[in-house]
Structure 1
Amino acid sequence: MQKVSFKNRTWDVAGNLYFPEKYDKTKKYAAVVCVHPGSSVKEQTAGLYANQLAIGGFIALTFDASFQGESGGEPRFLEDPATRVEDIRCAVDFLTTLEFVDRDRIGALGICAGGGYAANASISEKRIRAIATVVGTNASRAFREANPLEVLNEVGRQRTAEVNGADKLINNWIPNSAQEAREAGLEELDLMEAIDYYRTPRGQHPNSSNQLLFSSMSNLIMFDAFHLAEYFLKQPLLVIVGDKVGAFGSYRDSFDLYNKAASSNKKIYTVKGAGHYDLYDQPKATNEALEQIIPFFKENL
């Protein structure tokens, strides 16, 4: 693995580039952009999948979203869907500059919200020749189901306060501990597993700080990751989901993406007994997913 960086507008996006075990710089390789979930960073689940794709013979690229992790951009902790999609375009730009990457064999893999962003990028970015999602979510759908008009009004009030001198409001993505969640009466399956992944040594990373700029909410609520997929998402598509259904909605969103996509070459695969976060890092679930993903990219890139 090699640390790399590329530009999005004026700032640097920090990435990790993974190489096949018997990498030969004189050869041309297919490459896959691996897109991390919301609140995540490149070293977490996206890095796990990228490493396994490299073992499978691909060049794989992970990166921290703009405004987050080791990447640049201001304001910090902004989750802006349009910029996250542009990050993916810029990652493809970067891959096309590498002599050992075949420009006509670039794919994308996204996990959770990263799956929604990867799908959205693929709708218009036709240099992405094949796309796979793992527990992909249309994050905007989830936020729209939780008092969206009230939140939009709060965002407006907060922006007014900030432009008049108040500090920026930064919230947590999730409670910082299972105990904190229980005290708040929040013990839903996906949320508790998110805490177990992000806030314990299981998946914790110092650059994944659990911080979300509150004004991001207006962008998140209004963004539809699958907009126009029924017309323009025609690339080969593989959708991976677990059958343990939680509140985050990846099961519902994954089937929504599969049904909407205009691709004539699409498949949805359900990992039995797996929940949302099992497909982040649990060997049984991720190995079964990769048994589908690696042949899919070999066939379509």
Structure 2
Amino acid sequence: MEAKHTLQKNTESTIDHSLKNTDTNVQKVHFQSDGLTLVGHLYTPDNFDQSKKYPAVITGGSLTSVKEQMAGTYARKLAEQGFVALAFDYRNYGESEGQPRQYEDPQLKLKDLQAATTYLLALPFVDHVGALGVCTSGGNVAYLAAEDDRIKAVATVAAWLPDENTLPLLYGSQENLDELRRKGQEAKKKFASTGETDIILAYHNEDQSASHVGPMEYYMDNNRGGGVAEWKNELAVMSWEAWLDFDPMSKAKNITIPFMMVHSDGSALPDNAKSFYNDLQGEKELVWSDGYHFDYYDQPAQVNAAVEKVSTFFADKLK
């Protein structure tokens, strides 16, 4: 059987001022979500003044990604445009706590995004908060936009927006989906009884055991995402049920806050992106650009064009 496709409250927080970046100020920060310590990088603008108020944006990236990848890329560039920006590791990934490792659950990611919102709003120099999601986190921030009225605006870039109608096409058949769910259930039982986590590759160009099989150059290239030391090309098998239940398309009709989408014909599920946009209930803007899905992770032409659009959007909506 082959599985492949294309593409709570925060009561404690700390800031470690030892981490700096030559391009912009960046500090390692810690905050709580469900009693777990999450780790992030907080980017601040040049000439940052803690006595002033700034709009803030949470950034997130693709499935299994860490803050040193696309989340950090966009956070740094947003800081250069005058925003406070937080790129963080969701629970179970990177430097953040959480077991099992590499376990994907959109509902838990929603809790972590809400915890990040709480963290930012508690900072004396933050005014309003928005969120930006790249790829999978585009769907994750759709959950956030639909359920947390503290978020004032959201943008997505090359968002991954699956639904139950597209899953059989992505994974070959309903029978394949049923088999993946069965494997996920078995792995979950194994973890509960033994504490052992079954792991598969998250991405590969050819290996059919990986969760995502196809042209995965961003992850296979050590000069791109594959070379980020903090990232692991791993997915917990017990993620299958939660991952296949991921349904950001259903959230659009409940989103009434300002929403910008940056997408392209070469990005994941372009027809779903258009349908999602049509279902949004509030003020909205669709930026249909060019380039391939992975270009929006790290290629200057697509990233800079996206940042130009979303920074103008956030500057207007987060004031």
TM-score by length of 1: 0.88
Q: Against the structure 1 CA distance between its residues 138 and 243, is the aligned structure 2 distance closer, same or farther, given a 3 Å change threshold?
A: closer
Residue 236 (str. 1) matches residue 258 (str. 2): yes
Offset of residue 150 of structure 1: 1.7
Counterpart-to-counterpart distance in 2, 1:34 and 1:164: 35
Task: Output one character per residue of 1:86-107: Cα deviation in whole Å (capped at 9) or x when no partner.
Answer: 11100000001100001xx210
Whichever residue aligns with residue 199 of structure 2, its letter is I
**Unaligned residue ranges in structure 2 (runs of 5+):** 1-25
Q: Against the structure 1 CA distance between its residues 267 and 201, is the aligned structure 2 distance closer, same or farther, given a 3 Å change threshold?
A: same
Q: Against the structure 1 CA distance between its residues 170 and 27, is the aligned structure 2 distance closer, same or farther, given a 3 Å change threshold?
A: same
Task: Output one character per residue of 1:60-98: Cα deviation in whole Å (capped at 9) or x when no partner.
Answer: 001001001000011111111101111110000000110
Offset of residue 36 of structure 1: 1.7
Residue 23 (str. 1) matches residue 17 (str. 2): no
* Counterpart among 191, 195, 200 of residue 171 in structure 1: 200
Offset of residue 254 of structure 1: 2.0
Counterpart-to-counterpart distance in 1, 2:82 and 2:195: 51
User: Aligned residue for 2:299?
Assistant: 282
Residue 223 (str. 1) matches residue 246 (str. 2): yes
User: Aligned residue for 2:117?
Assistant: 92
Task: Output one character per residue of 1:173-202: Cα deviation in whole Å (capped at 9) or x when no partner.
Answer: 112xx5xx2x76x9x9x932x333454222
User: Aligned residue for 1:267?
Assistant: 285
* Counterpart among 156, 172, 182 of residue 185 in structure 2: 156
**Range with bigger deviation, 210-219 or 153-162:** 153-162
User: Aligned residue for 1:111?
Assistant: 134
Whichever residue aligns with residue 266 of structure 2, its letter is K
Residue 10 (str. 1) matches residue 35 (str. 2): yes
TM-score by length of 2: 0.83
Tell me how many residue pairs correspond in the alignment. Answer: 285
User: Aligned residue for 1:201?
Assistant: 223
Offset of residue 167 of structure 1: 3.8
Q: Against the structure 1 CA distance between its residues 234 and 77, is the aligned structure 2 distance closer, same or farther, given a 3 Å change threshold?
A: same
* SS of corresponding position for 1:270: strand
Counterpart-to-counterpart distance in 1, 2:177 and 2:262: 29
Whichever residue aligns with residue 280 of structure 2, its letter is A
CA RMSD of aligned residues (A): 2.2
Counterpart-to-counterpart distance in 1, 2:113 and 2:191: 30
Counterpart-to-counterpart distance in 2, 1:14 and 1:140: 30
Q: Is the 8 A contact 2:183 2:237 kept in 1?
A: no
* Counterpart among 38, 53, 70 of residue 63 in structure 2: 38
* SS of corresponding position for 1:44: helix
Q: Against the structure 1 CA distance between its residues 269 and 153, is the aligned structure 2 distance closer, same or farther, given a 3 Å change threshold?
A: same
Counterpart-to-counterpart distance in 2, 1:292 and 1:120: 22
Task: Output one character per residue of 1:131-183: Cα deviation in whole Å (capped at 9) or x when no partner.
Answer: 000011125656564222121122233334444548421011112xx5xx2x7
Counterpart-to-counterpart distance in 1, 2:112 and 2:195: 30
Q: Against the structure 1 CA distance between its residues 75 and 228, is the aligned structure 2 distance closer, same or farther, given a 3 Å change threshold?
A: same
Whichever residue aligns with residue 285 of structure 1, its letter is Q
**Unaligned residue ranges in structure 1 (runs of 5+):** none
Matches within 5 A, 1:181-196: 181=206, 191-192=214-215, 194-196=216-218
Offset of residue 211 of structure 1: 0.8
Task: Output one character per residue of 1:10-45: Cα deviation in whole Å (capped at 9) or x when no partner.
Answer: 110000000011211110000000012112111111
**Range with bigger deviation, 123-132 or 199-208:** 199-208
* SS of corresponding position for 2:248: coil
Q: Is the 8 A contact 2:58 2:116 kept in 1?
A: yes
